[in-house]
């Protein structure tokens, strides 16, 4: 459970009152006019009607007459990044479910947000994802070796022990291994989020194995296809999990049977329609303009340029697609919309997620997802609102904490100036965002700094950039200078090889820790190798060609920050095309609480 913010001993927690307004509490019932919500500290204390309950003198009062009060929005599919806090909160996203596996960095970020050291949405997360190559020679980012039943169980236990809120199973597992992982997760009371795109486990198999949530509604398309064999290897390319084309082959009878199975098994669909339908949405150009305005805001220049390019580039990604392929893809998208609508009409519960920051701009992505659910898929505005509030919380088993406006829950609320039940786009007419009992400053600040950073694309357990680069360097070394001279001496007739970092240990320390020894594992380390800490040289000892040790003085880790670790081999280069500097690893210095 995410910890509440502490209150100093003897200090009364502050009281915030939202007076008046129409309450849409997230439970799906009739909205309540003239509502009164009393918040004490970071919890909702009372939900009543205006004039029926007294509240303490000196309370901060927000006059909400004519406005609409809702639970804070949540995003069910996030790959959380250090630069997201301000933009998420500004758009009313007060909770996120990080399903990609953020490792120790995510745990540190979650705690810093919960303790008020860093602003940001409430985080629910997993430590690592379970995925594996499907066949010999297939390389998948993040997948190492083959998963056995025992290895899958161990991975789930690591997540549980670390304090994960969910377990994420992606692709490439056998049915037996998939079932074992689900069983282990449920034993610990955690929900399973699955991306079942084969080669053994698709939508139907995942549902029967006990998966709770299907991200991207993945694997459904193959399970309901007229000719499943035609699409069996569709998921070998992960991008195909974002392509609705197989829905063009939808068998109506199979679709009906699948919907019945999903509803009977209480399986939630998180379709990621922003990602699935990029270029196909009715309001595609409007969404593009809205996101362009966000990324053009000079106060948000701290957003990494590669993320801006990626998130804006998705709108033009399909511009060059062959007309026949585009027509088939559009048919698949339309059938997928129809499937989602029929699933919701049958009692199925849709979850609002947008796969940010891979395929959507944080904050706006949730609003676009809700508009697509209403305008393209045909859900009602109330169903869409539930998808981003109660449904998400219920599916991820945190409904006791968030998702509805009820006494005892975290005080995460959204107040808008127009009725979202009349037009779902009114959710963007935000008056106030309240998170953890406080009114959020929704402005952006060019000086915003999150000391706990993680570079996009680094492995969750290593904080190392360029792992593919290191693998290529290793291969080039084996084929080149090693065969000519060997790498056992401190100097080489052919010069110094380029060093590469595969891992560092530890990757997480605490501000104020004493002087420590950092172990660097990698390739091409020599007697001249020098370890750098944010470009500052450290005392370095070569243990072997694949291991270095460096001393980090306590003064360098006295405050929370993320520091770059590199290795340089000075002098004449034996591999000039590779240079003399390694890829970067990152040492995370956490807050001391």
Residue 474 has pLDDT above 70, yes or no: yes
Residue 421: other Cβ atoms inside 10 A: 16
Confidence at 11, pLDDT banded by 50, 70, 90? very low
Measured CA to CA, the distance from residue 47 to residue 158 in angstroms comes to 39
Q: In what side-by-side order are the strands of the sheet with 547-552?
A: 500-505, 516-523, 547-552, 539-544
Burial class of residue 306, CB neighbours in 10 A (0-12, 13-18, 19+): exposed
Measured CA to CA, the distance from residue 309 to residue 327 in angstroms comes to 26
pLDDT value of position 478: 78
Q: 60-63 and 15-19: which strand pairing?
A: parallel
Burial class of residue 562, CB neighbours in 10 A (0-12, 13-18, 19+): buried
pLDDT value of position 480: 63
CA nearest to 503, candidates 548, 570, 445:
548
What residue ranges in 184-316 does DSSP mark as E strands? 192-194, 213-215, 268-270
Residue 133 has pLDDT above 90, yes or no: no
- Mean pLDDT, rounded, of the chain: 91
Measured CA to CA, the distance from residue 130 to residue 152 in angstroms comes to 7
- Sketch out the chain's domains with CATH numbers: 128-162+166-273 (3.40.50), 467-590 (2.60.40.10)
CA nearest to 528, candidates 587, 570, 581, 575:
570
Residues 6+ apart with CB under 8 A from 236: 134, 138, 198, 199
| pLDDT tens string 48-84 | 999 899 888 889 999 999 999 999 999 999 999 999 9
**Lookup: tokens for 533:** 């800490």
pLDDT value of position 136: 47
* Rg (the chain; Cα; Å): 25
Q: Are 495 and 526 in contact (CB under 8 A)?
A: no
Confidence at 236, pLDDT banded by 50, 70, 90? low
For residues 201-236, b (16+ Cβ closer than 10 Å) or e, as one string? bbbbbbbebbbbbbbbbbbbbbbbbeebeebeebbb
Q: Are 511 and 589 in contact (CB under 8 A)?
A: yes
Helix (H, G, I), strand (E, B) or coil at 125: strand
Measured CA to CA, the distance from residue 127 to residue 125 in angstroms comes to 7
62 alpha-carbon distance from chain centroid: 32
pTM: 0.92
Helices then strands, each counted (H, E), the chain: 16, 26
Q: In what side-by-side order are the strands of the sheet with 60-63?
A: 43-49, 35-40, 15-19, 60-63
Length of the chain: 593
Question: Average of pLDDT values for 77-106?
Answer: 95
User: How far is the CA of 39 from the CAs of 6, 289, 435, in angstroms?
Assistant: 15, 37, 11
Question: Average of pLDDT values for 1-24?
Answer: 68
Residues forming a β-bridge with 49: 35
Confidence at 237, pLDDT banded by 50, 70, 90? low
Taken in order 489, 495, 497, 498, the sign of the CA dihedral is: positive
Confidence at 6, pLDDT banded by 50, 70, 90? very low
Question: Average of pLDDT values for 168-189?
Answer: 95
pLDDT value of position 8: 38
CA nearest to 548, candidates 505, 514, 508, 495:
505
pLDDT value of position 490: 41
Identify the DSSP state of 242. Answer: G
Question: Average of pLDDT values for 441-449?
Answer: 96
Residue 12 has pLDDT above 70, yes or no: no
Question: Average of pLDDT values for 7-29?
Answer: 82
């Amino acid at each position: 459970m995410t910890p509440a913010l502490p209150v100093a001993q003897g200090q009364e927690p502050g009281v915030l009152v939202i007076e008046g307004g129409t309450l849409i509490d997230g439970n799906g019932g009739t909205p309540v006019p003239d509502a009164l919500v009393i918040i004490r500290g970071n919890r909702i204390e009372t939900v009543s009607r205006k004039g029926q309950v007294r509240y303490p003198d000196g309370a901060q009062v927000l006059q909400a007459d004519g406005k609409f009060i809702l639970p804070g929005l949540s995003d069910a599919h996030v790959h959380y990044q250090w630069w997201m806090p301000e933009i998420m909160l500004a758009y009313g996203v007060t909770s996120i479910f990080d399903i990609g596996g953020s490792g120790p960095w995510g745990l540190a970020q979650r705690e810093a947000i919960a303790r008020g050291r860093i602003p940001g949405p409430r985080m629910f997360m997993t430590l690592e994802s379970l995925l594996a190559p499907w066949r010999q020679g297939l390389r998948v980012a993040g997948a190492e070796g083959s998963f056995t039943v025992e290895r899958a169980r161990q991975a789930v236990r690591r997540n549980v022990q670390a304090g994960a809120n969910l377990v994420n199973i992606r692709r490439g597992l056998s049915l037996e291994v998939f079932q074992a992982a689900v069983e282990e997760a449920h034993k610990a009371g955690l929900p399973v989020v699955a991306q079942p795109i084969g080669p053994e486990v698709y939508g139907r198999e995942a549902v029967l194995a006990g998966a709770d949530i299907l991200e991207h509604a993945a694997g459904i398309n193959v399970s309901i296809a007229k000719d499943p064999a035609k699409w069996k290897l569709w998921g070998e390319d992960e991008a195909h999990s974002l392509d609705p084309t197989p829905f063009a082959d939808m068998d109506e009878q199979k679709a009906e049977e699948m919907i019945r199975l999903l509803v009977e098994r209480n399986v939630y669909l998180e379709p990621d329609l922003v990602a699935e339908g990029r270029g196909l949405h009715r309001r595609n150009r409007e969404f593009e303009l809205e996101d362009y305005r966000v990324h053009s805001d000079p106060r948000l220049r701290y957003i990494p340029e590669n993320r801006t390019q990626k998130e804006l580039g998705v709108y033009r990604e399909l511009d060059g697609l062959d007309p026949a392929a585009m027509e088939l893809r559009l048919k698949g998208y339309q059938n997928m919309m129809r499937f989602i609508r029929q699933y919701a009409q049958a009692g199925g519960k849709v979850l609002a997620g947008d796969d940010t920051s891979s395929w959507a701009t944080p904050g706006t992505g949730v609003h676009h997802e809700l508009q697509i659910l209403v305008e393209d898929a045909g859900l009602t505005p109330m169903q869409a609102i539930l998808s981003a509030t109660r449904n998400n919380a219920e599916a991820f088993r945190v409904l006791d904490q968030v998702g509805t406006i009820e006494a005892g829950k975290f005080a995460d609320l959204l107040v808008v100036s127009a009725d979202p039940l009349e037009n779902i786009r009114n959710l963007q007419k935000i008056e106030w965002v309240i998170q953890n009992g406080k009114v959020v400053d929704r402005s952006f600040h060019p000086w915003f700094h999150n000391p706990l950073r993680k570079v996009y694309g680094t492995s969750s357990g290593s904080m190392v950039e360029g792992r593919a680069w290191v693998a290529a360097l290793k291969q080039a070394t084996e084929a080149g200078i090693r065969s000519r001279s060997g790498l056992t001496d401190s100097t080489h007739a052919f010069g110094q090889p380029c060093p590469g970092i595969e891992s560092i240990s530890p990757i997480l320390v605490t501000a104020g820790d004493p002087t420590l020894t950092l172990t660097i594992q990698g390739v091409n380390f020599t007697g001249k190798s020098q370890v750098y800490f944010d470009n500052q040289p450290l005392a370095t000892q070569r243990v072997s060609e694949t291991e270095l040790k460096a001393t980090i003085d306590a003064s360098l880790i006295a405050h929370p920050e993320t520091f770059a670790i590199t290795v340089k081999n000075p002098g004449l280069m034996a591999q000039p095309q590779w240079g003399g500097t390694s890829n970067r690893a990152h040492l995370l210095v956490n807050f001391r609480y």
